Amino acid sequence: MIAGPVAAGAAVVAVQRRGRRRPHRRSHVVTVFRPLAELEVTQLPGSLKEITDGVEIRLAEAPGGRGTEIAVRIPEGSSVTDGEVRRALRETRSLLEAGDVLLPSGPPTTVPTALNRPLQMATQHGREGGLL
Amino acid sequence: MRALQWQGVNKLAVGTVPDPQLRNPGDVIVKVTRTVTCGSDLHLLGGYIPFMEKGDVLGHEFIGEVVETGPDVRNHRAGDRVVVSSFISCGNCWYCDQKLYSLCDNGNTNPAITETLWGQAPSGCFGYSHAMGGNAGSHAEYIRVPFADVGAFGIPDAVSDERALFASDSASTGWMGADLSGVKPGDVVAVWGAGAVGQMAARAAVLLGADRVIVIDRLENRLAQARQHAGAETLNYERDDIAGELRERSGGRGPDVCIEAVGMEAHSPGPQFGYDQLKQQLRLQTDRPVAVRDAIHACRKGGSVFVLGVYAGFVDKFPLGALMNKGLTVRGAQMHGQRYIPMLLDRMAKGELVTEHLATHVMPLDEAPRGYRMFKDKDDDCVRAVFIP
């Protein structure tokens, strides 16, 4: 029922973003609530380790005691996708902070229908999408 | 096991689903002993939050008994009687460190949906759509509770199941509204909505020392509960001049704190209700913000407005001019239950906070579709329907 206004709002956001798009790909960044002194680029856990060779990773102290900013930039020509970076950053943050990556409920209680197929496709990639 | 499943807009059924399994080392499995309807469920039921799948299990406010624990669980063991916060939080990210548990960075397995809608993703919630993680809900015989050392709390022997149930969400949500809106001794506090959350917000304001607490609704049975159990004054918006009464009862200043506990399906006797409903039905706005508008207009200069009701997206005719020119502080949040539940259980044990009266209808889980119909239509003065699996 809210799909119409949500789509309209999302379209406004998308237009605003297109208007600001820079010629080069930006970095994807998360802030992890761990001190910079505890982290090393080569020792980051999780799926970020798997894509290390295809991306540039930078660590910086976050202001205000918020921990460490992990910035990942995909260089020109890399085969790593934005979705893979988003997923890796989210999983790495969770591993560093919580020691684990939360899995969805299971076994599933839902049944596939024509109506929920788009939602199921979206949630299958729940950590790859978004704005990160 | 048996569970109440969302089958489509305004369609619920009790069916058989697989038993939940431990998925992470910090999980526990809880045998649900009581689980209760919430007004925010009606937004899912009515299709106002379009991130449900056929077969999803509803329910986010519950208590139960731990029956299985993951290897990393330290605070619970089988047999423990627990109340569980409706939001799922890791306890270790910056937001959890700030006690903003519903904003946890690691508790939502589908952050993309809400991040795209709202800019950043809140945490996950039980039984509250795939935008909030797609976690199976509590209207079932068993439920998986992730990060159980953070979100599940042992219930003291002095607190009955009937009372502890509402610490899970209603009482912690209401207390949060009063706390984070800054209620202090001497304040005049107005609360829109006399449902469970509104009553709990009013009771919290009383316990925090407010001089006058005034609850607004149209349902006399709920207003009577607010007077009797929260110690509040009441106004009926179908009968009383709300703006005038609030002005008069606050010495012409307006309430210091206005707490909105209504949400996106608000009613009102005036023409703005028809306007909002038409725009909502035409998909030109997602939410009906009647109570928020009224709260902003009523609030004193420099006062505080807290939005406790659930909203999904966009609203029209938002009084931004009043907000800015009166110097208001407007704040909102999903509930940070982990922050408040231990304190609430302590107050419940002392008898300062009572909740049993909210459970106006108690029935077996198999009758849950009937319970939701009663709850939605307010039949038989239903305030909350509680299900026993």
> Residues B304-341: pLDDT tens digits?
999 999 888 888 889 999 999 999 999 999 999 999 99
CATH assignment of B2-169+335-388? 3.90.180.10
Residues of B in contact with A12 (CB under 8 A): none
| pLDDT average, residue stretch B116-142 | 96
Chain A interface, mutation test: which of B27, B30, B49, B53, most A Cβ atoms within 10 Å? B53
Is B1 an interface residue toward A (CB < 8 Å)?
Answer: no
Q: What tokens were used for B262?
A: 């209504």
> Which of B:157-196 have CB within 8 Å of A?
none
Token digits for B135? 């976690």
Half-sphere exposure of B97 (CA within 13 A, CB side): 12
CA distance A100 to A95: 5
pLDDT of residue B348: 98
Residues 6+ apart with CB under 8 A from B300: B250, B253, B254, B255, B256, B326
Asked whether the beta carbons of B308 and B330 are under 8 A apart, the reply is: no
Question: Shortest CB distance from B26 goes to which of A100, A105, A113?
Answer: A100
Q: State residue A24's pLDDT score.
A: 59
pLDDT attached to residue A132: 92
Where, residue-wise, is CATH 3.90.180.10 in chain B?
2-169+335-388
B147 touches chain A (CB under 8 A): yes
For residue B297, what is the enclosing H or E element?
A: helix B290-298
Q: What digits encode the pLDDT tens for the residues B192-212?
A: 999 999 999 999 999 999 999
**Predicted pLDDT at B264:** 77
Lowest-confidence pick of B159-173, B270-284, B346-360 = B270-284
Residue A25: predicted pLDDT: 74
CA distances from B175 to B98, B149, B388 (A): 17, 22, 26
**In degrees, to the nearest 5, what angle opens at C-alpha B121 toward C-alphas A119 and B94?**
145
In chain B, the residue whose alpha carbon lies closest to the alpha carbon of A7 is: B117
**Contact between B119 and A2 using a beta-carbon 8 Å cutoff:** no
Residue A107, preceding bond cis, omega within 30 degrees?
A: yes
Rounded Cα–Cα distance for residues B47 and B239 (Å): 31
Q: Tell me the shortest Cα–Cα distance from A57 to chain B, in angstroms.
A: 21
Smallest CA–CA distance from B47 into chain A, residue: A1
CATH architecture of B173-332: 3-Layer(aba) Sandwich (3.40)
- Tell me the residues of chain B between 262 and 291 that have a Cβ less than 8 Å away from chain A: 280, 283-286
pLDDT per position as a tens digit, A15-57: 455 444 444 578 999 999 999 999 999 999 998 988 989 999 9
Least Cα distance to A69 among A43, A34, A112 occurs for A34
HEC letters along B307-373: ECCCCCCCCCCCCHHHHHHCCCEEEECCCCHHHHHHHHHHHHHHCCCCCHHHCCEEEEHHHHHHHHH
